[in-house]
A and B are shown apart, each in its own frame.
Chain A
Amino acid sequence: MIVLEDVHKTYGRQKVLDGISFRIREGSVTTVIGTSGSGKSVLLRQMIGLEKPDSGTILIKGENIVNLSSRELNRIRRHIGVLFQEGALFDSLTVKENVAFPVREHLKLTEKQVQEIVDVRLTQVGLREHQDKLPAELSGGMRKRVGLARALALDPAIVFFDEPTTGLDPITRDVIYRLIEKTHAEDSRTYVLVSHDVGGVLRISDEVMMLRDGKIGWSGTPDEIRSTSDEAVRQFFTGSVNGPIRIE
């Protein structure tokens, strides 16, 4: 479903991705973890096609998106949903219009049909009664839920989540993870998360990859994380200052 081979990305003199290779199974929930500034979001931007890597291959549904033109890339993007860190809702549009936006852009449907899709997605995230509000009237957690409803609106095969729980209180965080679990169980899409939220990662992921020094330093299942002897992974999950990971 998603295959990365030897992906490199450098900004100025800083090498952020240094030969990343992995394969994500169809229908799985895969989480990329790493400390702040380890390049998780950069990696996500390469997979969505917002940036092109300096070298390497990124296969989405069998197509190498690195060499695609913007028109061809847009064809692939119609099968992808993205939940951005702060939701990235359009300020000037209501909740309903935000969720309807991709539907109106890509499907030729009547307003009634558009409204039906909006209702389904907003019900799924529990915000149907807030559909006439503007994003500024919503809490951070609600904005992320609307962002998820919008990401799911076109029924994508793959959904990317950029730090879905950053900045949320523990209860709202739990709500978001429940939603991720629920929507995944309902539709069995491929979910790719970028996160440093240890508890949530262990709870919802089928596979976890740790990004360290621009490479995939470790990968395995949540159970393997609990029993691993890899010091960096143990340090990350215990949140200790002592260990091989140095924070500058």
Chain B
Amino acid sequence: MSERAFATVYGPACMYGSLSRIGLLNVLRFLGSIPLGTVEALRFFVEEVGRMIVLLGLSAVWLLRPPFRGREFVRQLDFAGAQSVLLIVLTGTFTGMVFTLQTYNGMHRYGAEAMVGATVALGLTRELGPVLSALMVVARVGSAMTAELGTMRNTQQIDALTSMAVEPVQYLVVPRIFAVTLVLPLLALIFSFTGMVGAYFIASGWLGIDPASFMSGIRNYLGPEDITHGMIKAVVFGLMVSLVACAKGYYVTGGARGIGVATTRSVVLSSVLVLVSDYVMTSLMF
């Protein structure tokens, strides 16, 4: 019976009660139609996000409390930063080179070759530098952090720290998050710079673009706000990547297999978050 017919036969007062029942039934039907797997996935998602928020909160608190872990911080700066430079220079150079070839391919059709330098510089500084540096850090640093912390959890090293009255979040997590957040903008800058160097050599040496017009394009169109834009992204990526890596390792369960699963999830989740948040930030700062 339709709601209108129901109201005609039984009156508006009855219809109100019936609608509530119909509404409740629909809600129950809807809940019943959700597969158990979806509920489980939702629960897992909420749990994961909750853990990361808790870990971020704890890290913020322990960052400000003494003793400050300078030695550990420097060790992480070295691991995440200094030891990543070669990889960043290599990937940055090749990205700049290939980006120049593709940009030239498009610009050449409209006779706008003079804009290649500016387009490559803007693309690298605002987008490719921070995003690809973050993805490199995910692969090299994030995965290692998850595996290391996971192994420490599994072999009771984290319990040992706690039993020695050393706060594990302060000793293990804070230096890692702080170091990666600080170092990723620098790596993004190096990436963009080496990318532009690679672009310059391809543009002037192979594509025959006048070096002066290539450089003047960069000077005219690349402003400090573009660099700031890229740096803000890199800071956010650094925080996200290190937080995910630490949380996945710190809360690992399930032995050697658990560490493997956590490391894979850490890399996948960090990479997806980098790309999704890149879109969100770009639309906000467009």
Binding site for B on A (CB under 8 A): 45, 48-50, 70, 73-75, 77-78, 80, 82, 84-86, 88-91, 101-102, 105-106
CB pair A91–B157 under 8 Å, yes or no, is yes
CB pair B163–A70 under 8 Å, yes or no, is no
9 cross-chain pairs, A with B, having the tightest CB-CB distances, nearest first: A74-B165, A88-B160, A88-B156, A77-B165, A82-B163, A84-B156, A102-B164, A88-B157, A78-B165
Bound CA–CA A48/B161 (angstroms)? 12
Cross-chain contact of B157 among A49, A77, A90 (Cβ < 8 A): A90
Bound CA–CA A102/B166 (angstroms)? 8
Cross-chain contact of A101 among B151, B152, B155, B164 (Cβ < 8 A): B164
CB pair A106–B165 under 8 Å, yes or no, is yes
Bound CA–CA A91/B154 (angstroms)? 12
CB pair A86–B166 under 8 Å, yes or no, is no
Binding site for A on B (CB under 8 A): 151-152, 155-157, 159-160, 162-167
| A74-B165, A77-B165, A91-B151 known; A50+B157 contact, CB < 8 A | no
Which residues does chain A contribute within 8 Å of B156, judged by CB atoms?
Answer: 84-86, 88
CB pair A70–B155 under 8 Å, yes or no, is no
Which residues does chain B contribute within 8 Å of A50, judged by CB atoms?
Answer: 159, 162-163
Bound CA–CA A84/B164 (angstroms)? 12
CB distance from A86 to the nearest CB of B (A): 6
Select from chain A the residue with minimum beta-carbon distance to B71: A104
A-B residue pairs in contact (CB < 8 Å), sample of 10: A50-B162, A70-B167, A73-B165, A77-B162, A78-B165, A86-B155, A90-B157, A102-B166, A105-B164, A105-B165
Bound CA–CA A78/B165 (angstroms)? 6
Bound CA–CA A74/B171 (angstroms)? 14
Which residues does chain A contribute within 8 Å of B165, judged by CB atoms?
Answer: 73-75, 77-78, 105-106
CB distance from B179 to the nearest CB of A (A): 15
Select from chain A the residue with minimum beta-carbon distance to B157: A88
CB distance from B90 to the nearest CB of A (A): 27
Which residues does chain B contribute within 8 Å of A86, judged by CB atoms?
Answer: 155-156
Bound CA–CA A127/B41 (angstroms)? 50
Residue of A78, A84, A88, A90 with most partner-chain B CB within 10 A: A88
Which residues does chain A contribute within 8 Å of B160, judged by CB atoms?
Answer: 82, 84, 88-90
Bound CA–CA A106/B157 (angstroms)? 18
New contact pairs (12) apart from A91-B157, A106-B165, CB-CB < 8 Å? A49-B162, A50-B159, A77-B164, A82-B160, A82-B163, A82-B164, A84-B160, A85-B156, A88-B157, A90-B157, A90-B160, A105-B165
Select from chain B the residue with minimum beta-carbon distance to A80: B163
Bound CA–CA A89/B162 (angstroms)? 13
Bound CA–CA A83/B265 (angstroms)? 33
Cross-chain contact of A88 among B155, B166, B167 (Cβ < 8 A): B155
CB distance from A87 to the nearest CB of B (A): 9
